């Protein structure tokens, strides 16, 4: 399939990408696992540019899960330092007309990172282009629980008297964004790992053997092309 207008022809509104395989990429080269993460950051940069080029309206990248805190301290520290230094680059997204949103629990994120996240987000609020969401300290179960608590509080405060899917969705971190059409997971693993479990109710999944640091524009186009072969029925016939 031609890459030109591919996204428009497929009607894709939102894709999710699980950036997995950094550790194995490093281990394959005899390097410590944490050496894979800066390479993963380069792949993120590349992939974001490809998403802009292909005209994807919204993309969510899974960067760090609520479960990833359980990794060895030196790997978590390396990831936090990488994230902090990457924030300066995220600040520049505003010049590309990208709208940035971090999704996930804010509690538990080191203050220094949180400040930069909020600054980077606020710099892009006036933009009108592609949505780039970064799932950081994100867990789908935590997100649903957080939304449920918000709904309970609003009910108690007489701000809502009923709940439906649309209302509940508006309490999620992805409020206002369309559900994901496609989730791409490199690294060979075939699971969601707590990513967008509500929003992926009717998503198509493309699992790929490539490790995230090696993920290329050709891989992205291959995943989109595979999506184009699927028959989405949404329970109908």
Strands 15-18, 58-65: pairing is parallel
Check residue 66 for interaction with ligand IPE (CB under 6 A): no
List the one residue out of 34, 114, 107, 40 whose CA is nearest residue 72. Answer: 34
Q: What angle is formed at CA 173 by the lines to CA 168 and CA 177, rounded to 5 degrees?
A: 80
Q: In angstroms, rounded to a whole number, what is the distance separating the alpha carbons of residues 58 and 101?
A: 11
Check residue 19 for interaction with ligand IPE (CB under 6 A): yes
Radius of gyration of the chain (CA): 18
140 binds, among ligand IPE, Mg ion, none (CB under 5 to 8 A by kind): none
Given candidates 13, 38, 68, 80, which one binds ligand IPE under the rule CB under 6 A? Answer: 68
List the one residue out of 39, 47, 58 whose CA is nearest residue 196. Answer: 58
Catalytic residues: 20, 68
Given candidates 50, 65, 94, 137, which one binds ligand IPE under the rule CB under 6 A? Answer: 65
Given candidates 14, 15, 16, 21, which one binds ligand IPE under the rule CB under 6 A? Answer: 21
Least separation in angstroms between residue 80's CB and Mg ion is 17
Least separation in angstroms between residue 38's CB and ligand IPE is 11
Least separation in angstroms between residue 47's CB and ligand IPE is 13
Q: In angstroms, rounded to a whole number, what is the distance separating the alpha carbons of residues 59 and 98?
A: 11
79 binds, among Mg ion, ligand IPE, none (CB under 5 to 8 A by kind): ligand IPE
Check if the beta carbon of residue 135 is closer than 8 Å to that of residue 104: yes
Please provide the distance, in angstroms rounded to a whole number, between the alpha carbons at the two ends of the chain: 26
Phi, psi of 179 (to 5 degrees): -60, 160
Check residue 20 for interaction with Mg ion (CB under 5 A): yes
Token pair belonging to 99:
């709208």
Check residue 187 for interaction with ligand IPE (CB under 6 A): yes
Check residue 189 for interaction with ligand IPE (CB under 6 A): yes
Given candidates 6, 12, 15, 22, which one binds ligand IPE under the rule CB under 6 A? Answer: 22
The residue with its CB nearest to ligand IPE is 23
Looking at residue 16, what DSSP letter applies? E
Least separation in angstroms between residue 103's CB and ligand IPE is 12
Residues shown for the chain = 237
List the one residue out of 195, 204, 202, 160 whose CA is nearest residue 174. Answer: 195
Of 193-212, binders to ligand IPE (CB under 6 A) are 193
64 binds, among Mg ion, ligand IPE, none (CB under 5 to 8 A by kind): ligand IPE
**Interface residues with Mg ion (CB under 5 A)?**
20
**Where do contacts with ligand IPE occur on this chain (CB under 6 A)?**
18-24, 40, 62-65, 68, 79, 187, 189, 191, 193
């Amino acid at each position: 399939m031609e890459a030109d207008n591919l996204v428009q022809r497929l009607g894709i509104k939102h894709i999710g990408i699980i950036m997995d395989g950094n550790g194995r990429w490093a281990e394959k080269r005899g390097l410590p696992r944490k050496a894979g993460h800066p390479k993963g950051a380069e792949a993120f940069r590349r992939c974001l540019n490809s998403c802009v080029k292909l005209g994807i309206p919204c993309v969510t990248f899974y960067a760090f899960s609520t479960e990833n805190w359980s990794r060895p301290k030196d790997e978590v520290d390396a990831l936090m330092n990488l994230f902090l230094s990457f924030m300066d680059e995220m600040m520049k997204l505003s010049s590309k007309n990208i709208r940035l949103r971090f999704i996930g629990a804010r509690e538990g994120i080191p203050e220094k990172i949180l400040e930069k996240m909020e600054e980077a987000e606020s710099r892009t609020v006036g933009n009108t282009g592609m949505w780039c969401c970064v799932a950081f300290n994100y867990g789908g179960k935590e997100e649903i629980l957080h939304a449920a608590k918000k709904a309970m509080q609003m009910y108690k405060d007489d701000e809502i008297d009923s709940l439906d899917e649309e209302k509940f969705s508006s309490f999620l971190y992805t409020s206002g964004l369309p559900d994901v059409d496609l989730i791409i997971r490199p690294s060979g693993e075939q699971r969601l790992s707590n990513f967008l479990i509500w929003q992926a109710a009717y998503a198509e999944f493309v699992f790929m053997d490539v490790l995230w640091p090696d993920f290329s524009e050709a891989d992205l186009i291959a995943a989109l092309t595979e999506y184009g072969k699927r028959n989405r029925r949404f329970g109908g016939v």
